[in-house]
Structure 1
Amino acid sequence: MKRIFLTCLLIITTIGFSFADTIAISHFVIKENPFAKDEIAIVAVDTAQNIQENVSGLFTFTINSFTEQLTFDKGTAFYRHKIEKSGFVYARHENDNGTHSMLYYVYRHDSKLSPVKISWILLISIPLGLVLIGYLFKRFIIIAIVIFCIFLYFNHSNGLSIPTFFQSVIDGLKGMFVG
């Protein structure tokens, strides 16, 4: 009876240790896809920007409001949609650790793509700076309004809508206080 009890206890203990940890993506970057023209790759990285090669499998991302199932292999997934012109790419991933999002401006030049990360601080500081300049210098209020309209037009024409703008700022604020 003791042998059966010890055997069962050993099996239960072994099963408890055999479950693998779930792999979560907490940080990621967007890079140019080196294997395809006009496409980007999403790379899972750690806080030191090193590729997490243990990330493999299917992960759900929302890219510019479209939900995509991306297959990661050794920390890299390829977004199989061609980027025809420069524009904003808002990538968002939700897992057990929370929601992680990044806003990039993908600049297209000479058939190459150069992703530039846009911080939520920059997004909010430009309109606030224009309001401050207009408030401090009453003569420049018309110039500040014109620059603000140009800022809104540039954002809208390159794919950054007002809800995405605010969602990026809110995610940045959440990341500052939570993460």
Structure 2
Amino acid sequence: MRLIKLALFSLSILLICESAYAQSNTIAGAQITINNFIVKENLYKNNQLAIIAADSVDKPIENLSGTFKFSINGFEQELKFNNGAAVVPQPISKSTFIYVRHENESGNQGKLYYVIKKYDMLNPIKISWLVLVLVPALIILLAMMFRKFIIIAGILLIVMFYFNTSNGLNISTFFDTVFDGLKNLF
């Protein structure tokens, strides 16, 4: 019961604060907002990521220019978009989780990526909130169904928790991703 109250309280605080970082650019009298984005490797292959403004079907919007506020792993950044793309200034030194969030008048968009770094190439893979919830739930369900699996399930959960935290996925990012996914359902 306390967990449900805490979750509802957290969700209500998140919804109340949603408009705090609302942002858009106005060009020639038309209001331009970013409602979707894609994270890819920068074209210059300099260990930096590029954020590309996209429409609802992930097609890049090339005529977008301006400065927009993003939160990358909890750090606020103003990214300058030119022709629909902006470069994140911090280079990636090893494989890590990246949580990118943008908020505007129409809502917020938060996406979790696992960036695999091999040699001088970056490969961002989008992680769905369902995967974050279903994999541990499935392990716990299997442990409850098969009593002999409890020790193995516990070890798997500990290894998964260690992998996530050592690569930059902390508890707050986990809950932010899950709450964003739940919000987008409704």
TM range (shorter): 0.7 to 0.9
TM-score with structure 2 length normalisation?
A: 0.84
- Is the 2:45–2:121 Cα contact (8 Å) retained in structure 1? no
Matched, 1:119 2:131: no
1:105 aligns to what? 114
Partner of 2:31, secondary structure, is coil
Matched, 1:71 2:61: no
Matched, 1:41 2:50: yes
Gaps of 5+ in 1: 1-17
2:95 aligns to what? 86
1:143 aligns to what? 152
The structure number with the bigger radius of gyration is 1
Structure 1 segments (4+ residues) deviating >6 Å? none
**Amino acid in the other structure paired with 2:52:** V
Shift of 1:19: 6.4
Q: For 1:124 and 1:22, how far apart are their aligned partners in 2?
A: 37
TM-score with structure 1 length normalisation?
A: 0.87
- Is the 2:64–2:84 Cα contact (8 Å) retained in structure 1? yes
**Amino acid in the other structure paired with 1:25:** I
Q: Deviations over 1:23-66 (max 9, x none)?
A: 11111010000124110000001122211112210000000010
Q: For 2:42 and 2:178, how far apart are their aligned partners in 1?
A: 27
Equivalence map 1:24-39=2 (5 Å): 24-39=33-48
Equivalence map 1:49-68=2 (5 Å): 49-68=58-77
1:165 aligns to what? 174
Shift of 1:116: 0.2
Gaps of 5+ in 2: 1-26
Q: For 1:45 and 1:160, how far apart are their aligned partners in 2?
A: 25
1:20 aligns to what? 29
Q: Deviations over 1:99-138 (max 9, x none)?
A: 1110000000021000000000001011101110110001
How many matched pairs? 160
Calculate percent identity across the aligned residue pairs.
43
Shift of 1:21: 2.2
Partner of 1:22, secondary structure, is strand
Which of 1 and 2 has higher RCO (CA within 8 Å, sep 6+)? 2
Partner of 1:107, secondary structure, is strand
- Is the 2:45–2:120 Cα contact (8 Å) retained in structure 1? no
Q: For 1:164 and 1:92, how far apart are their aligned partners in 2?
A: 11
Matched, 1:154 2:163: yes
